Amino acid sequence: MNEKDFQEILDIGIALSSEHDLSKLLDKILSKAQEVTGADGGSIYLVKKDKMIFKASRNKTLLEKFGPEKMKEIVKTFVIPVTKKSMAGYTVVTGKLLNISDVKNIPSSADYSYDPAFDKKYGYDTVSMLVIPMINRDGEVTGVLQLINSMENGHPVAFKTSHEKIISSFSSQAAISIANAELNEDLKNAHFDTIFRLSEAAECRDKETANHIKRVSHYSRLLSEKLGWSPEACELIFWSSPMHDIGKLGIPDAILQKPGPLTPEERAVMEQHTVIGALVLKDSSIPVIAKSRIVALTHHEKYDGTGYPQKIKGEDIPLEGRIVALADVYDALSSKRVYKPPMPEEKVISILKEGKGTHFDPVLIELLLENMKKIAEIREEFSDKESDYDNFLNIKTIDLKTLLKQER
Ligand SMILES: [Fe+2]
Ligand SMILES: [Fe+2]
């Protein structure tokens, strides 16, 4: 490896170690590997026990041919077993790299073979491949970097020995950065899993299903996307909207679960769930909790100032509160509850339209109505099954053996 290559590896190492988001990191690894080797395409598999998960892919020719939208569909994640039969699997099992000048001429005596199904499906012509194991600090293969068609003057040629060397050093840097990003992701997931479960606990007391908060999260994110918010802001409302009713944990059962209408006094107590929620979530420097506090406090305010608890109106209501208010009411109307069947779509729409500018932000109502197809897809994907009601309401029917079985 010459001085230039060494410098390149150092630069790549620095670039990779600064990226903590797993999918952005994988994309960066691929684009750097393409830069260094002139590869037309590449993909990354991550190894999880006896399986390999196809996690990221780039392909210049296919991107030009199909465009970014279709490309997302083409490179959808999938899982394959780790066996020597596939080239990626071979490198995982043996820890050896493969540098193949022409995939069509792999000898039949080799353990692995090339599967032409992808090429056939998308009209691509894979010629050369460089498949390199990504090895972590403990010497374990944790992933595979697979590069396709090293291009020279617009034609695929074989990968060079110098590519093998530089990509091998590069891939160990990548493995370490991936391990760090995965740890980061695990922490983030644990954090969000806790948020969802806590929110579920609050909704469960009110006989809501877990899917209610999932739908509200998705509707809220969709509305924020349509408002043109940044991906980070959309993600933040996705994770903060589940906690809108967390304050119901502090409302007495006699009121929360009372069949029939509430007295004015009981109603006043019930309305306190907004304030209790904000108190539970107050003084946090964690953005998602800070945002949840605003959502919890303001999701029952109405656009004309007749909501609660502060009776603020219009633009004075934080936008995230206005978004979740609409998502929550839409879901309450359009889904089944223990005490009522779902309302027909036309009826839901006419109620929402009636509330335009009085209950709801008129801009948001328009956005919701313009995106009913996407809304229906979310409703469908997270629809409540009878078993969801059983989980909360018929605890006796749950098989304790299955519930208590340790997952390994
Ligand atoms: Fe609420
Ligand atoms: Fe709700």
- Residue 387: per-residue pLDDT: 53
Q: Does residue 389 share a domain with residue 329?
A: yes
What CATH code is carried by the domain that includes residue 57? 3.30.450.40
Query: Of the candidates 343, 344, 362, 345, which has an alpha carbon nearest to the alpha carbon of residue 353?
Result: 362
DSSP-derived letter for residue 133 is E
Residue with tokens 């370490």: 176
Kindly give the distance from the C-alpha atom of residue 231 to the centroid of ligand 2, in angstroms, as a whole number: 24
Angle between helices 210-226 and 386-393 (to 10 degrees): 120
- Residue 170: per-residue pLDDT: 84
The number of the ligand nearest the C-alpha atom of 246 reads: 1
119, 122, 318 from 73: Cα distances, Å: 15, 12, 36
Q: Does residue 106 share a domain with residue 31?
A: yes
What CATH code is carried by the domain that includes residue 270? 1.10.3210.10
81 within some domain = yes
Q: Does residue 250 share a domain with residue 365?
A: yes
Count the residues in the chain.
Answer: 408
- Residue 240: per-residue pLDDT: 94
Q: Does residue 122 share a domain with residue 69?
A: yes
Q: Does residue 239 share a domain with residue 346?
A: yes
The residue from 32, 248, 291, 302 that is catalytic is 248
350 within some domain = yes
156, 191, 377 from 285: Cα distances, Å: 52, 14, 35
194 within some domain = no
Count: domains in the chain: 2
219 within some domain = yes
The number of the ligand nearest the C-alpha atom of 214 reads: 2
Q: Does residue 49 share a domain with residue 152?
A: yes
Q: What are phi and psi of 391, to 5 degrees?
A: -55, -40
407 within some domain = no
Q: Does residue 139 share a domain with residue 273?
A: no
For residue 232, the tally of other CB atoms under 10 A from its CB is 8
Q: Does residue 244 share a domain with residue 140?
A: no
Write out the residues surrounding ion ligand 1, Cβ under 5 A. Answer: 245
187 within some domain = no
pLDDT along the chain (408 residues), means of 10: 73 79 89 92 93 92 91 85 92 95 93 92 94 91 95 94 89 88 87 86 77 94 97 93 93 89 95 96 92 97 97 97 97 83 91 96 97 95 68 57 62
Is 248 one of the annotated active-site residues of the chain?
yes
Q: Does residue 123 share a domain with residue 212?
A: no
- Residue 42: per-residue pLDDT: 94
- Residue 324: per-residue pLDDT: 98
Contacts of 80 (CB under 8 A, 6+ apart): 45, 51, 52, 54, 86, 88, 89
288 near 239, Cβ under 8 Å? yes
408 within some domain = no
Q: Does residue 106 share a domain with residue 225?
A: no
Kindly give the distance from the C-alpha atom of residue 245 to the centroid of ligand 1, in angstroms, as a whole number: 5
Tokens read off for 281: 């979530």
252 within some domain = yes
Kindly give the distance from the C-alpha atom of residue 180 to the centroid of ligand 2, in angstroms, as a whole number: 36
| Dihedral in degrees, nearest 10, Cα atoms 187, 188, 190, 196 | 170
Query: Of the candidates 126, 109, 108, which has an alpha carbon nearest to the alpha carbon of residue 117?
Result: 126
Q: Does residue 255 share a domain with residue 322?
A: yes
Domain that holds residue 39: 3-179
> Which residue, 144, 179, 214, sits at the end of a domain?
179
Q: Does residue 141 share a domain with residue 11?
A: yes
The number of the ligand nearest the C-alpha atom of 331 reads: 2
Helices in 206-241 by DSSP H: which ranges? 210-226, 231-240
